[in-house]
Amino acid sequence: MDMLTSKIFLRKTKRGKVLKVVREHYLRDDLWCGSDLCKKCNQENSEVLDDAPLSSSTLCACPHYVVVDTNVVLHQIDVLESPAWKNVIVLQTVLEETRKRSTNNFKKLKEIMATRKDNFYVFVNEHHKDTYVERNPGESANDRNDRAIRKACSWYQTHLEESQQGRDKKKKIQIILLTQDFKNREQALKEGIPAYKVDEYVKSLKDFPDLQEKLAASHSEDNAENREPLFPEHWAPTRIMTGIKSGKLLQGIFHCSRENFLEGSVSVEGQDKSILLQGHASLNRAVDGDIVAVELLPEDKWTSPSGIVLEDQEDQDPGDQIEKEEALLSNSAKGKDRQPTGKVVGIIRRKWRQYCGILLPSVLAEGTRHLFVPAERKIPKIRIETRQAATLSSQKIIVAIDSWPRTSRYPLGHFVRALGNIGDKDTENEVLLLEHDVPHHSFPETVLACLPSMPWTISQEEVKRREDLRNLDICSVDPPGCTDIDDALHFRELSPNLYEIGVHIADVSHFVRPDTALDKEAANRGTTVYLVDRRIDMVPELLSSNLCSLRPDQERLAFSVIWEVTPNAEIKKTRFTKSVIRSRRAFTYAEAQCSIDDPLQQNELAKSLRGLNKLAKIMKKNRMDKGALQLSSPEIRFEVSTETNDPIDVISKPMLDTNSMVEEFMLLANISVAEHIFKHFPECAVLRRHPVPPESNFEPFLKAGKTQGFTLDVSSNKALAASLDAAVKPDNVYMNTMLRILATRCMMQAVYFSSGTVAPVDFYHYGLAAPIILISHLPFAGLYADLLVHRLLAVAIGADVTYADLLDRKCVQQLCNNLNYRHKMSQYAQRSSVALHTHLFFRHRVQDEDAYVLSVRQNALQVLIPKYGLEGSIYLKEKDEDSKPAFIYNPDVPSQTCGNITIRTFDRIVVQVSLDSKYVQHQKIAVHLVQPQIAGLSVEAIKTVNDSEPIPKKLKAGK
Amino acid sequence: MSGTELLSDQGLRIDGRKPNELRRIRCSLGIFAQADGSAYLEQGNTKVLAAVYGPHEIRGSKSKALHDKAFVNCQYSTATFSMGERKRRPRGDRKSTEMSTHLEETFAAAIRTELYPRSQIDIFVEVLQADGGNYTTCVNAAMMALVDAGVPLKDTVVSCTASLVKDTPLVDVNHVEQSGGSPELVVSILPHSGEIVYMSLTQRFHIDHLSKVLDTAIKGCKDIGVILKEIMKGHLTKLDTSLQAS
Ligand SMILES: [Zn+2]
């Protein structure tokens, strides 16, 4: 290190003052070039750049190393993933710029560099004494960086020249700059650096002809400038920043409406009400998730959500024009429901990712421009260019967005890869795992190496370290077919007035040691994901289904929480211990219920279950008295054919006493552990809280209650629970359940957090009415969070030692953020999996079912079919379609009236469910009205169920 | 946008140093004619001025006088222009008072105070520019000023910071690294005996890491000690020649 320079720059503080920041910047002479042929650098054997590089480029036949500029990384990251790239120099300038401009691409680039570290070399040009360049007065940061990149190129050229004097001129290595920037390329050529456009170079790679498909669409050649713009211009970033500072603009996250693609909202931090956006021009090319800048309209222009259910249904590419949208958005109820309305004036940060979906069949099959329909409804269609449309049209594919110019109706993107045939269950499963970012690759060798070798037995020393509970009559109660038995229970009478109960949890932390490959993998996965027909494990199967499954008659390591309680469920003593247990039996909920109910059964286990059940009921009642909510979401289970693995029947999950019995004890264990850990580690206990929802969340719920004549009180969880209990209608038993379903949707998502980061008053769990709750919920294991809890608890009871990250508040919070994300995604994946199986189920069926109206919209009814836990829309009028009967919409109730029939929220109706096969590729469940009969709208009831598939004899239960 | 990386995959810190490299040190002695000893010290962009007065008679209240040794009075202050954002009060705030106390304890241990009973030694340090390691730079500057003043020392005192990023200890952390949120360890040692005279930690971190971070800080102290000793020698030679010349 022999030189020093200062970087001086100006930075604005939060308070708006301008600061002069002086940072030291050291320049070094010990940074090497990474080339195998170099005789000057003092580098060890880590040379990445070949002595005699080969390339299949027809554009540049001489041996060369490639330098990519920032724009290539920002816009063509998918191309860089290809094995076609060898001998690539990534400059620090490019890395830094990428990091500043796109977290996603930065992460991807780092992944690419990590997996292909023999082909990508990072040259730290910003700290090299010969390649550092200072920003000239008046020079933009961008121009300075381009200059730094060119400087590094020419340095390499001269640096390598000295080591290859005497080489044949044709064999000398060239440094090639790939850039998308016209000016940079011109300048480079002027300075004698061979420079090419990246697409030109990629197209010239004759060994990788398909690679050009992955090139991001460039619209510049499309002479877009000559066409009429469809959208307003986005403001320049500086203008946006000034606007936000002055309060003229608001910054927030854009959410596209699930029901109406021409509507969306922007949630602004710290504001209760989100801002409504309506119409193409107001949405102005925002894509769901983007961070946008919005300008509020004057208050007299505010409107309310249209209440229209609208899908972008063009089944053909309409070209670059925008349909008339007045009709689609018209008659937004003016008046009291008006809310702040605005328009997007600029995009602060795009949150584009890769999307799964299908190609829309093109009129011109041989054309190269195609429309892609994402699986996620909230994402617009994407225009891509591909010559493989014929093969791709029957497949699910992945596409990335590149840009969305003003002149284009749809964003422009490029094809990334194909997943498999449409309708194929494996493909569809892959789609839903990818869409929800569920890591599901098989466990790598490094992870499997952390597992104990089989056959596995518990060593004598291990038994000595633990409490031996093998003599206790422990049993487990789980859903049928459960192979990962996480928890087990026991009960015994110590004296007539004192019982002992125990919850025993599989001791995963014994097998997953901190900081191992297994631990890191589990931390990243965060949770086990339960899909209808498969389970994506957080830890390898050997653990989840065997060593950490508390199987009957097998000795297992456990973590036990043991209480002494009175017959009134008053807790006298709580203790925690690591233990060895042997479960006597694995009950299903139904089997356990039988044992409890059958007076003939007088064995120990039956007696224990009865004791547990009695205590659980008392405990539950106590909790309810304190205001715990009994919420509802319909849960169903598929019966799956053993032969085809396709669903053949749907059963709603019965709620037995034993279900809530197990829940109650898990909750008790949870609270006890949470209190204990919090006492020992007030700063880094991993907890879960359920924030109190803001009052505005309850609006749709309150409105729905009003239509049925109930005034619901949401002032506290206790009041809510009471008014839910009171809202009963004898003639509509399901109404109460519906109300509970709606209430559930008003709740906030429970979140994991590290206790040091939140004030203790906010620990309260709203839904469960518990003062403090651990991060894990039910089931107790199968979440990485549980592992952390086990470790903390083990330390708290002196059974284990701490390690650094466990006690680092920040580390723990970071982990929690990942867990929150994974947890949310796993729930979405679960829902999608149910939807997928519903599709498969209706592939050969049409059925009439009872349904309830969830909400009444201006042009549709949203209905819930409890039997399938399925929601659908019945369109009352469609655009350009006057054939349907005239409904009169009353937004105040809300209700829809046609003749003498009026439909309101929560009304029971009969619907016909079938699979809409209008679009073979994009199948969806269709719901039609059967009853009440309305001429022109309702369909004929069917007497028989057409079931083209024979029902197989053997049934397998899906979890 | 992701946060800045304090340690790159290529093993360099944000300013281009390796984890074990100190910032550049520059020092000049005897810059104030009025003081008995003075020093100006730069460690990177942290710049400190130190002045020493004494030993002299106790000023002000005589009750401060110690019958068997000299009383060491330190005053730590920060120039209003030292930070990016202007500071309101140069001294007297809680932070400065605390720093002054630490300096007094440190130098009471290093100075041969028993040679000057019932007298007082004043050490004034002022941070002109703050860019991380402000306290350590003050200790080092004060020590240089004491040498310049010819106050007899048991041992020199040197001070250095260390931190931890991605399990790698960093020596002599600058402001950016300091505000990155990692814990910062400050250590002052007497290099000959190896005795630690001051140690503080900005936040808790796991005991597993303590020894390597501490080792790094001590190594940093010793490296700084070597550099400062060179500077002292240079200064003395210069004095020598100028004396001979006159
Ligand atoms: Zn070299």
A283-342 pLDDT per residue, tens:
889 998 888 999 988 888 788 777 666 666 666 666 666 665 655 555 554 555 678 888
| Pairwise pLDDT comparison (A179 vs A692), residue with the higher score | A179
Residue A654 has pLDDT above 70, yes or no: no
SS3 at position A954: coil
User: If you measure CA to CA, which chain B residue comes closest to A96?
Assistant: B4
Mean pLDDT of B165-177: 88
Residue B189 has pLDDT above 90, yes or no: yes
| Pairwise pLDDT comparison (A628 vs A277), residue with the higher score | A277
Q: How far apart are CA A792 and CA A514, in angstroms?
A: 12
Q: How far apart are CA A38 and CA A42, in angstroms?
A: 9
> Which of A10-14, A780-784, A793-797 is the least confident region?
A10-14
For residue A849, the model assigns a pLDDT of 82
Band (pLDDT 50/70/90 cuts) for residue A644 is low
Contact criterion met (CB < 8 Å) for A20 and B84: yes
Residue A802 has pLDDT above 90, yes or no: no
| Pairwise pLDDT comparison (A915 vs A809), residue with the higher score | A915
Exposure class string for A446-478: b at 16+ Cβ within 10 A, else e: ebeebbeeeeeeeeeeeeeebeebeebbbbbbb
The tens digit of pLDDT for each residue in A688-730 reads: 666 666 777 777 777 777 777 777 777 777 777 777 777 777 7
Residue A779 has pLDDT above 60, yes or no: no
Domain containing residue B79: 3-245
Taking CA atoms, B57 is separated from A380, A856, B101, B120, B122, in Å, by: 83, 92, 21, 6, 11
Residue A951 has pLDDT above 50, yes or no: no
Q: Within an 8 Å CB–CB cutoff, is residue B21 touching chain A?
A: yes
Residue A649 has pLDDT above 90, yes or no: no
| Pairwise pLDDT comparison (B202 vs A477), residue with the higher score | A477
Those residues whose beta carbon sits under 5 angstroms from the ion ligand 1 are A 33, 38, 40-41
Give the type of residue at A538: M
For residue A630, the model assigns a pLDDT of 63
Q: Is the dihedral of CA A643, A645, A651, A654 positive or negative?
A: positive
- Highest mean pLDDT (candidates A74-78, A361-365, A627-631, A942-946): A74-78
Contact criterion met (CB < 8 Å) for B1 and A101: yes
For residue A953, the model assigns a pLDDT of 36
Q: What is the pTM of this model?
A: 0.63
Angle between the N-to-C axes of helices A103-115 and A92-101, in degrees from 0 to 180, rounded to the nearest 10 = 140
Whether the CB-CB separation of A141 and A167 falls below 8 Å is answered with no
> Across all residues in chain A, what is the average pLDDT?
78
Residue A513 has pLDDT above 70, yes or no: yes
| Pairwise pLDDT comparison (A188 vs B63), residue with the higher score | A188
| Residue carrying the six token digits 């009003």 | A706
Q: How far apart are CA A933 and CA A903, in angstroms?
A: 12
For residue A178, the model assigns a pLDDT of 92
The tens digit of pLDDT for each residue in B140-154 reads: 999 999 999 999 998
| Residue carrying the six token digits 């381009």 | A146
Mean pLDDT of A440-466: 83
For residue A101, the model assigns a pLDDT of 83
Chosen for mutation from B177, B204, B212 (greatest number of chain A CBs closer than 10 Å) is B204
For residue A19, the model assigns a pLDDT of 52
Whether the CB-CB separation of A181 and A94 falls below 8 Å is answered with no
User: If you measure CA to CA, which chain B residue comes closest to A117?
Assistant: B9
**Residues 6+ positions from B173 with CB-CB distance below 8 Å:** B132, B133, B161, B162, B163, B184
What are phi and psi for residue A197, nearest 5 degrees?
A: -75, 145
Band (pLDDT 50/70/90 cuts) for residue A862 is confident
Chosen for mutation from B5, B6, B12, B82 (greatest number of chain A CBs closer than 10 Å) is B12
Band (pLDDT 50/70/90 cuts) for residue A246 is confident
Mean pLDDT of A589-613: 86
Whether the CB-CB separation of A216 and A71 falls below 8 Å is answered with no
CATH of the domain at B157: 3.30.230.70
The tens digit of pLDDT for each residue in A38-71 reads: 888 877 766 788 888 887 788 888 889 999 999 8
Mean pLDDT of B174-194: 86
Contact criterion met (CB < 8 Å) for A24 and B45: yes
Residue A92 has pLDDT above 60, yes or no: yes
∠ CA B236-B240-B241, rounded to 5°: 120
For residue A945, the model assigns a pLDDT of 46
| Pairwise pLDDT comparison (A773 vs B231), residue with the higher score | B231
| Pairwise pLDDT comparison (A407 vs B2), residue with the higher score | A407
The tens digit of pLDDT for each residue in B4-31 reads: 678 888 889 988 899 999 998 999 998 8
Chosen for mutation from B206, B211, B223 (greatest number of chain A CBs closer than 10 Å) is B206
How many CB atoms are closer than 10 A to CB A170? 8
Q: Is the dihedral of CA B83, B84, B85, B86 positive or negative?
A: positive
| Residue carrying the six token digits 């063509």 | A76
The tens digit of pLDDT for each residue in B122-138 reads: 999 999 888 889 999 99
Band (pLDDT 50/70/90 cuts) for residue B43 is very high
Mean pLDDT of A809-818: 72
Whether the CB-CB separation of A178 and A73 falls below 8 Å is answered with no
Using CB atoms within 10 A of its CB, is residue A846 exposed (0-12), middle (13-18) or buried (19+)? middle
What are phi and psi for residue A729, nearest 5 degrees?
A: -125, 125
The tens digit of pLDDT for each residue in A332-388 reads: 545 556 788 888 999 988 888 888 888 887 666 566 778 888 888 888 889 888 877
| Pairwise pLDDT comparison (A2 vs B219), residue with the higher score | B219
Q: What is the ipTM of this complex?
A: 0.88
Residue A790 has pLDDT above 90, yes or no: no
Count structural domains, chain B.
1
Domains in chain A (CATH in brackets) are: 5-199 (3.40.50.1010), 216-422 (2.40.50.690), 446-625+634-683+774-825 (no CATH), 845-931 (2.40.50.140)
What are phi and psi for residue A895, nearest 5 degrees?
A: -150, 165
Residue A684 has pLDDT above 90, yes or no: no
Nearest to A277 by CA among A265, A287, A268: A265
Residue A99 has pLDDT above 60, yes or no: yes
Tell me the count of A-B CB pairs closer than 8 A: 67
Exposure class string for A875-895: b at 16+ Cβ within 10 A, else e: bbbeeeeeeeeebebebebbb
Distance from CA of B47 to the nearest CA of A (A): 13
For residue A634, the model assigns a pLDDT of 56
Whether the CB-CB separation of A659 and A615 falls below 8 Å is answered with no
